[in-house]
Amino acid sequence: MKKTLLLILTAVMSLSLFAQQANVQKVTIKTNGTCEHCKKVMMDNVPQWKGVKECTYNLQTSEITISYDASKTSVSDLRTGISKLGYDADNVKADAAARAKLPTCCTQAKQAGHSSCGGGCSGHHDDAKKQQGQSCGNSCGGHHDDAKKQQGHSGCGGCGGHH
């Protein structure tokens, strides 16, 4: 009797696990994220949303790949959520109010070859600035805190810290 009960319990649990996995789907959404700060915003928020199992953000392509439970959320909901963070999500435009709150590094267009600086630095960082702990104040809006500057870290994460 115990063996039969254990066998039935195992079968039910296996079917339940299979049903949960059957609803998991994956989508890749094109965003207009430009820098490490953009990636951080997405990675701090998207995994917390209902139905999201896991996600990764590719900074070079500005794409977020999300595994989600289709019985708990939809691709449309995911795109809307990304929009509310201030970023375009495929054909869904960024919420203007949320976009306005993002630092400058996140709102500048990405230039070719500048996947981590937000495109506003134009490659003008020189060794003298690096040694002095200064930032360009351009792509990241100069919002580096004094503690980081004193430690010689001018990068905010928003411009990849490559000053």
Span 82-123, pLDDT tens digits: 999 999 999 999 999 999 999 999 998 876 544 444 344 333
CB 35 within 8 A of CB 21: no
For residue 107, the tally of other CB atoms under 10 A from its CB is: 20
Together in a domain, 85 and 149: no
Together in a domain, 129 and 90: no
Sheet strands (E) in 10-154: 24-30, 52-58, 63-69
**Is 79 part of a structural domain of the chain?**
yes
What is the domain count for the chain? 2
Per DSSP, 109 falls in state P
pTM: 0.60
Residue 130 burial by Cβ neighbours in a 10 Å radius (0-12, 13-18, 19+): middle
CB 117 within 8 A of CB 35: yes
29-49 per-position pLDDT tens digit:
999 999 999 999 999 999 999
